[in-house]
């Protein structure tokens, strides 16, 4: 259960558009993960990311991703959109980075945001952004009028980010156990000869991937512990039941011709599955079977199409389409086309595995989660069932791996499958969550609880 005690502290970045919120988000997050969702072809900016810095783990939330407002709107409208934009994030925030544009100076909109933040009684630090040179920093005192400590920074040129974070640190409780320490378990599954062992070898050659001493050898399989990233923000993984390195597979009898039982066991003990397929053969019945096992086991998944060097004139778009048709229930899972032999796109696939691993363990702050559900409900009302309509009172995330959300409602029987899918898709759109299953549970709550 996700209890209050292992909830990550939240640092929210707020401010009007174009001050550099997403630039700062990427800077603090330490890397750019622009995920191209193969289905929509859209590059999606991350809304939130787990960050470990200076012995502190926190969730960094970019409120810019919650609602973009148009700077040309009238002040009143802007004010209400700004409120909407930041309110949900502030419900969860332990500390706020209020971003402004040093070069534009203090504008009325900044003053409005400042008034709003003062009313919330939260620790706030003003990041006066676009201080690209030392000379620019001389403009910073102008922002003192906002009534919060001011740090001139340049998100783009990485200036004074440490000073800013030093201001944030006292407001972030030290977490006893950093969640990123947890080793996530990865299983690489697929038909014999699709190139699983070749892919693992190609992965192990990547200099980003740091392999710890190999332990856990059993008579017929091997687990490989490895890490990605450096220092305190490194993530640790275990590649489980690694094929090919083990002895000839004696389980593959006529009954279990393609090792389905073995695959099921690997999938069961994994957090993220890599479903490997063959470029030339295309998605087969066996691939569908394995995809189905992954879905039923509620595991995160990345689909990898290997041997792309042999594909000649197959187009990625066409393959992708055929694959989506073959396994429509894997719609939310990213696809990467690689060649284990040439090493092409192996790194991309490692990044994608890492990304899905992060989604599988995502913790959605309660305020933002509830706002997302409310917004979805406002866009499309639940359909009436025998004259009665579903009312959702409150949403709470109850688990990770897989991500479980419980909705407290007037009557759980009033949800229709389409509406359940719609709510799940809305959460995906809001939070990203590529490759991660979302399990929605409905529970009875007869009277409305105040939010």
Region of 11-19, 110-118, 295-303, 346-354 interacting with ligand GDP (CB under 6 A): 11-19
The least CB distance from residue 163 to ligand GDP, in Å, is 14
Question: What three-state secondary structure class fits 216?
Answer: coil
User: Looking at 124-283, which runs of residues are DSSP E strands?
Assistant: 124-129, 150-152, 184-190, 209-211, 224-228, 235-240, 272-278
Q: In which region does residue 324 sit, left (phi positive, over 0), alpha (psi from -120 to 50) or beta (all else)?
A: alpha
Residue of the chain from 229, 244, 282, 402 that contacts ligand GDP (CB under 6 A): 244
Do the strands 403-409 and 438-444 form a parallel or antiparallel pair, or are they unpaired?
parallel
Do the strands 300-306 and 272-278 form a parallel or antiparallel pair, or are they unpaired?
parallel
Region of 190-198, 212-220, 229-237, 407-415 interacting with ligand GDP (CB under 6 A): 190-198
Q: Is the peptide bond before 402 cis (omega within 30 degrees of 0)?
A: yes
Closer to ligand GDP by CB, 15 or 167: give it.
15
Q: Report the candidate in 231, 124, 177 with the shortest Cα–Cα distance to residue 7.
A: 177
Neighbours of 57 (CB within 10 A): 21
259 binds ligand GDP (CB under 6 A): no
Measured CA distances, 12 to 126, 279, 350 (Å): 12, 43, 29
The least CB distance from residue 108 to ligand GDP, in Å, is 17
Closer to ligand GDP by CB, 350 or 414: give it.
350
Closer to ligand GDP by CB, 210 or 341: give it.
341
Residue of the chain from 307, 345, 355, 404 that contacts ligand GDP (CB under 6 A): 307
**Residue environment code for 289-308, b if the CB has 16+ CB neighbours within 10 A, otherwise e:** ebbebbbebebbbbbbbbbb
Residues 280, 311 contacting (CB under 8 angstroms): yes
The least CB distance from residue 242 to ligand GDP, in Å, is 9
Taking residues 99 to 138 in sequence order and writing x for each that binds ligand GDP by CB under 6 A, - otherwise, the string is ------------------------------xx-x------
DSSP-based helix, strand, coil % in the chain, nearest 5: 35, 25, 40
Region of 177-185, 208-216, 333-341, 406-414 interacting with ligand GDP (CB under 6 A): 333-341
Residue of the chain from 341, 385, 396, 416 that contacts ligand GDP (CB under 6 A): 341
Residue of the chain from 264, 339, 349, 359 that contacts ligand GDP (CB under 6 A): 339
Task: Tell me phi and psi for residue 367, to 5 degrees.
Answer: -65, -45
71 binds ligand GDP (CB under 6 A): no
Residue of the chain from 9, 152, 243, 432 that contacts ligand GDP (CB under 6 A): 243
412 binds ligand GDP (CB under 6 A): no
Which of positions 21-60 make contact with ligand GDP (CB under 6 A)? Answer: 21-23
Q: How far apart are CA 324 and CA 39, in angstroms?
A: 8
Residues 137, 163 contacting (CB under 8 angstroms): no
155 binds ligand GDP (CB under 6 A): yes
First to last CA, the chain: 21
The least CB distance from residue 119 to ligand GDP, in Å, is 22
Residue of the chain from 38, 63, 100, 154 that contacts ligand GDP (CB under 6 A): 154
The residue written with tokens 């009007």 in the block is: 16
Region of 114-122, 189-197, 385-393, 398-406 interacting with ligand GDP (CB under 6 A): 189-197
- The tokens describing 303, both together, are 């689909």
242 binds ligand GDP (CB under 6 A): no
Region of 76-84, 152-160, 170-178, 373-381 interacting with ligand GDP (CB under 6 A): 152-160
Point out which residues bind ligand GDP (CB under 6 A).
15, 17-23, 64, 129-130, 132, 154-157, 190, 192-198, 243-244, 306-307, 309-310, 339-341
């Amino acid at each position: 259960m996700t209890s209050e005690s292992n909830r990550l502290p939240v640092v929210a970045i707020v401010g009007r558009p174009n001050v550099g919120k997403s630039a700062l988000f990427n800077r603090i997050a330490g890397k750019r993960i622009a995920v191209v969702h193969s289905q929509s072809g859209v590059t999606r900016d991350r809304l939130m990311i787990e960050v470990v810095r200076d012995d502190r783990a926190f969730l960094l939330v970019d409120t810019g991703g919650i609602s973009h407002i148009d700077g040309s709107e009238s002040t009143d409208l802007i004010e209400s959109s700004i409120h909407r934009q930041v309110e949900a994030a502030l419900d969860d925030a332990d500390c706020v980075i209020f971003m402004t544009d040093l070069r534009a100076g203090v504008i009325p909109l900044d003053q409005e945001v400042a008034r709003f933040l003062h009313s919330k009684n939260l620790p706030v630090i003003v990041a006066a952004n676009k201080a690209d040179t030392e000379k620019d920093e001389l403009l910073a005192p102008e922002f003192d009028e906002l009534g919060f400590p001011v740090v001139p920074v340049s998100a783009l040129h990485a200036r004074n980010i440490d000073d800013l974070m030093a201001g944030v640190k006292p407001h972030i409780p030290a977490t006893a156990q950093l969640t990123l320490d947890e080793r996530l378990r990865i299983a690489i599954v697929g038909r014999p000869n699709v190139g699983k062992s070749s892919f693992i070898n190609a992965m192990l050659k990547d200099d980003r991937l740091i392999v710890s001493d190999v332990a856990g050898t059993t008579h017929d399989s091997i687990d490989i512990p490895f890490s990605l990233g450096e220092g305190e923000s490194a993530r640790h993984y275990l590649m489980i039941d690694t094929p090919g390195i083990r002895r000839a597979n004696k389980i593959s009898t006529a009954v279990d011709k393609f090792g389905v039982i073995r695959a099921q066991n690997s999938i069961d003990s994994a957090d993220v599955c890599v479903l490997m397929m063959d470029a030339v053969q295309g998605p087969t019945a066996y691939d569908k079977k394995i995809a189905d096992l992954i879905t039923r086991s509620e595991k995160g998944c990345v689909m990898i199409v290997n041997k792309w060097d042999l594909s000649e004139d197959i187009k990625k778009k066409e393959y992708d389409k055929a694959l989506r048709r073959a396994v429509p229930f894997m719609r939310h899972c990213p696809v990467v086309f690689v060649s284990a032999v040439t090493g092409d796109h192996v790194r991309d696939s490692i990044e994608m595995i890492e990304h899905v691993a992060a989604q599988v363990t995502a913790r959605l702050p309660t305020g933002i989660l509830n706002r997302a559900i409310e917004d979805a409900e406002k866009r499309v009302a639940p359909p009436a069932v025998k004259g009665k309509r579903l009312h959702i009172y409150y949403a709470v995330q109850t688990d990770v791996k897989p991500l479980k959300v419980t909705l407290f409602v007037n009557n759980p029987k009033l949800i229709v499958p389409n509406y359940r899918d719609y709510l799940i898709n809305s959460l995906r759109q809001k939070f990203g969550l590529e490759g991660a299953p979302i399990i929605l549970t409905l529970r009875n709550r007869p009277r409305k609880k105040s939010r």
